[in-house]
Amino acid sequence: MPTINPDVVRHFLRHRLKEHREYYLHPPYLIETRLLKAVSEGKYDSAYFLLKKINRLERAMLAEDPVRSLKNSLICSCTLLTRAVIGGGMPPETAFNYSDACILEIEKMSDRDALLAFEYTMLEGFIDQLKKVQKKLHSYSHPVQIAVEFIHERILQDFTLQDIAGYVYLNPNYLSHIFKKEVGWSLTEFINRERIEESLYFLAHTNSSVSEIALLFHFCNQSYYTSLFKKYCGMTPSEYRQRKDKDEKTEARPRALVPTR
């Protein structure tokens, strides 16, 4: 019976021990990567299992007070989940709005068990929101779906109808026709709505002026941006910012962008 070279065995054991140590020294990162991938793909069961696995480990102490430390830990989780669903295709403002609501809820709590349970509620909520977005997107034909993804990915870039049509290999007039038929709005209307929706984040979370935000989203001037904002949100950008400053709760936000066909 052939024998294995002892040097090969020793090399194998050293390599195996190295991998074993690396895994057990850094399990949160390895499992966390898998968790965020599961979330971005809308796989709740896998994400739930991985979150349970992470939570069997000892949490880092992020404050002297144990409850405050746990709250900080959940806020960190909320931030990671937000990034994951954005990666999965959720519009950033939708994700950030849900994140804001979760953080407000975390801050209201003082019971440790309620906080621990809320992390799973938060996970389920993020994935549910993501699935709604994905379901809507998947109801479109392939060319329209690709066009919507093109717009979302380049929302801060300047592009034309011809650019979109070239990307999906369709005649611009034909793409405009099927887009309006399936989505209910013209491409221009859809792009304007998406840009207004995404601009909410900059109004709520930055000190950028209204004119700077208008320029960022490639509106021709502040007046045009303001008129569209008022059309879709029922108030001006400045009014939205003032209300946001006064009350961070969701009821203070403008009404959702309602179809006006």
* Residues 243, 142 share a domain: yes
* Residues 176, 131 share a domain: no
* Residues 126, 36 share a domain: yes
* 66 occurs within a structural domain: yes
* 1 occurs within a structural domain: no
* Residues 68, 47 share a domain: yes
- In this prediction, residue 252 carries a pLDDT of 40
- In this prediction, residue 204 carries a pLDDT of 81
Chunked mean pLDDT (size 10), the chain, 261 residues: 63 58 55 91 93 84 87 93 89 82 91 94 92 80 91 89 96 96 93 91 86 94 96 93 69 42 35
State the CATH number of the domain containing residue 238: 1.10.10.60
Give the end of a domain, one of 118, 135, 152.
Answer: 135
- In this prediction, residue 11 carries a pLDDT of 67
* 163 occurs within a structural domain: yes
- In this prediction, residue 153 carries a pLDDT of 82
Per the structure, the count of domains in the chain is 2
* 261 occurs within a structural domain: no
* 234 occurs within a structural domain: yes
Give the end of a domain, one of 104, 135, 166.
Answer: 135
* Residues 218, 130 share a domain: no
* Residues 231, 146 share a domain: yes
Look up the domain containing 168 and give its range: 138-252
* Residues 187, 162 share a domain: yes
- In this prediction, residue 160 carries a pLDDT of 95
* Residues 22, 129 share a domain: yes
pTM over 0.75: no
* Residues 81, 113 share a domain: yes
* Tokens matching residue 158: 């300047």
* 211 occurs within a structural domain: yes
